[in-house]
Amino acid sequence: QVTAEAARAPQPRSPSVARQAKAMALQQIRAARLLPRAAAPAALCRLFAAPAVQKPVLAEKAPLAGLSGLGAPMTKRNAGVSVLGCAIAMVAVGGCAQGIGQLFAALVVGMARNPSMKEDLFTYTLIGMGFLEFLAIVVILIAGLLLYSE
């Protein structure tokens, strides 16, 4: 009885048997016409990959596919347009620098008119400079987004 039970127990598969089982499964899938003949095992990995990794299926046309101009979908990356948008956004950094210059010029004029308000004027100047620096940082971040976006 012990030998009969041992004979019925599943034996561990060798690598060649596992490879043959995979090949038979692939042949059955092909026979069911679920996968074309040219499909390789790498194609099976792509078939079961995450949706973000899969290539888009172009079976149906999008309703906006016939549009041109602003409604047309982008098909390629226009690097020149993103560089131009980044350069236009960086002009605002020059505006921030001009604002800081005017802020300190007003500080000097205010100190010349009323020297007793020196500490208060300097405090207000530093608060204004903080706002201008924050604006410059936001502009630089938006320019980076414009440069590296599609």
Q: What percent of the chain has pLDDT over 70?
A: 59
Specify the pTM: 0.47
Q: Give the C-alpha separation, 12 to 9, whole Å.
A: 10
Predicted local distance difference test score (pLDDT) of residue 51: 54
The ranges of the chain with pLDDT < 50 are: 35
Predicted local distance difference test score (pLDDT) of residue 18: 76
Q: Give the C-alpha separation, 93 to 91, whole Å.
A: 5
Residues whose CB is less than 8 angstroms from the CB of residue 17 and which lie 6 or more positions away in sequence, other chains included: none
Instruction: Count CB neighbours of 84 within 10 A.
Output: 13
pLDDT in tens, 112-133: 999 999 999 999 999 999 999 9
Q: Give the C-alpha separation, 135 to 130, whole Å.
A: 9
Tokens at 92, concatenated: 């605002």
Q: Which residue, among 10, 15, 44, 12, has the nearest Cα to 27 in the 3D structure?
A: 44
The number of angstroms, rounded, from the C-alpha of 51 to the middle of its chain's C-alpha atoms is: 16
| Contact of 149 with 74, CB cutoff 8 Å | no
Question: What is the length of the chain?
Answer: 150
Instruction: Count CB neighbours of 29 within 10 A.
Output: 14
The number of angstroms, rounded, from the C-alpha of 44 to the middle of its chain's C-alpha atoms is: 26
